[in-house]
Amino acid sequence: MSEILKTEDLRLYYRTSLGTVKAVDGVSFSLRQGETLAIIGESGCGKSSLARALIRFLPRNVAEFSGSIFLDGVDVMKLSDADYDKRIRWKKISYVTQAAINSLNPVIKVVDHLIEPLVLHLNMSKKEAVEHAKDVIKKVGIAEEFLWRYPFELSGGMRQRVVIALSIISNPKIVILDEPTSALDVMTQANIINLLKELKQKLNLSYIFITHDIAISSELSDRIAVMYAGQIVEIGPAERMYTDPLHPYSKGLLNSVPRLREDKPVVFIPGTPPSLINPPKGCRFRPRCPFAKPICEKDPPVVRTSPENFVRCWLYGEK
């Protein structure tokens, strides 16, 4: 399993009337082929912005967009928007949104949604594209007849399957899943997760799974990155992260989720996440951390726990 994606010091800042929002503030991580990386964090931590930075869906008020994104060894940040659109987006890396109901154009048939990227970017003929669409729709478990329907004629779960089909139709290597199941029923959620598991195996996809639902993240992730205030505070393998994370915030996050099967007491983290406009100096979690020390007023070091994983905390730093 080779490394397929690597970011270095990725930054995405927005300009707003209240100041510059540092949504992604120096994010570095790597992803291997066939691996699923879950990015978990509370709302406002910047994880959705990270997704948008990776696929370059940027709003108009960008103040800064810098750093490196290496896809198969090539820094795609150096590409122009037009080049990125032609060569990378949807071909190497695609995106599944949240709120699937709104992400499909209600006046366009399902089949037309699916053939669009093929005809526009891969220069397929319409006939070829339709054949391709039939193939993909079967892969996501929808009967072929639904190709000729409009999105409103499909249930929520089916729409989400169409969105997933759309994301894999041009054979990308990496799929970014941004809260793919948040608007769905429990049963439908389970079905979609099953589908994602199957597709990952069959097509050897790599997933970047972004969610605030820690329990759901365990359904897909091989590795987990915990984001806080625009930075990754810890990244590590699933086995360790769900049972014994290192960073105090990761610990707090996991302890605040009520368990269905165990009777583990639930502890919540007091306080609120900091504003992304003026994050505190030094460790951003310090105001809420039960283990805070005077040295935490300085930016904590990135302590490697393995070649690809790390934790950003003074508890594990150089003495």
Partner 1 sequence: MEARLKVVYIVLEATFKYNYDTLPSQIVRWLFINSSKPVYVTIEWIKPEGTIVNISRLVLNQGEFYADLTKGSQDFVLEYTRYIATKLGITPEEELSNLAVLMGKEDPDIFSKDVKPSKGVYKIVVRAESSDPNADVDIKVNIYGTLYGLAGTDEYRRDLFIAVAWGAPIALSFGLLASVLTTLIQMFIAATSAWFGGVVDNIIQRLNEIFMILPFLPIVAMIALFYRLTIWSLLAVVVALGIWGSGMKTFRAMFLQIKEMPYIEAAKAYGAGDLRIIIRYMIPRVMPMIIPIIVISIPSYVFLEAALALLGLSDPTTITWGKTLEEAYAGAAMYRGYYHWILAPAAMLFLISIAFASIGYTLDRVFNPRLKEM
Partner 2 sequence: MGRSDLDKLSNAVLEVRNIKVWYPVRKLLSIVGYVRAVDGATFDVKRGEIVAIVGESGCGKTTLAKAIIGLVPVTEGSIVFDGVDITKLPRARLRSWYSAQIGYVQQDPFGAMPPFMTIKGILEEPLRIHNVPKKERYERVYTMLQDVGLTPPEDYMNKHPHMLSGGQLQRIAIARALILRPKLVVADEPVSMLDASVRIEILTMFKELKDKYNVSVVYITHDFATAKYFSDRIVVMYAGQIVEKGPAKEVIHNPKHPYTEALLSVLPDPDPKNRLVIKKTLPGEPPNLINPPPGCRFHPRCPYAFDKCKKEEPPMVALKDYVEVKCWRYA
Spatial CB neighbours of 257, under 8 Å, sequence gap ≥ 6: 214, 215, 266
Interface residues for partner 2 in 254-313 (CB under 8 A)? Answer: 254, 256-262, 266, 268-270, 272
Q: Which one of 4, 10, 21, 163 is in contact with partner 1 (CB under 8 A)?
A: 21
Residue among 32 and 134 whose Cβ is closer to partner 2: 32
- Hey, is 13 helix, strand or coil? strand
The CA distance from 86 to 97, in Å, is 20
Q: Which one of 9, 57, 59, 81 is in contact with partner 1 (CB under 8 A)?
A: 59
Residue 191 interacting with partner 2 (CB under 8 A): yes
Residue 61 interacting with partner 1 (CB under 8 A): yes
Nearest to 93 by CA among 10, 198, 170, 159: 170
Residue 14 interacting with partner 1 (CB under 8 A): yes
DSSP 8-state symbol, 256: T
The nearest distance, CB 214 to partner 1, in angstroms, is 26
The CA distance from 221 to 133, in Å, is 28
Spatial CB neighbours of 156, under 8 Å, sequence gap ≥ 6: 100, 101, 183, 184, 185, 188
DSSP 8-state symbol, 258: P
Residue among 141 and 301 whose Cβ is closer to partner 2: 141
Residue 220 interacting with partner 2 (CB under 8 A): yes
Binding site for partner 1 (CB under 8 A): 14-17, 21, 59-61
Q: Which residues bind partner 2 (CB under 8 A)?
A: 36, 42-43, 155, 157, 185-187, 189-191, 193-194, 197-198, 212-222, 238-239, 241-243, 252-254, 256-262, 266, 268-270, 272
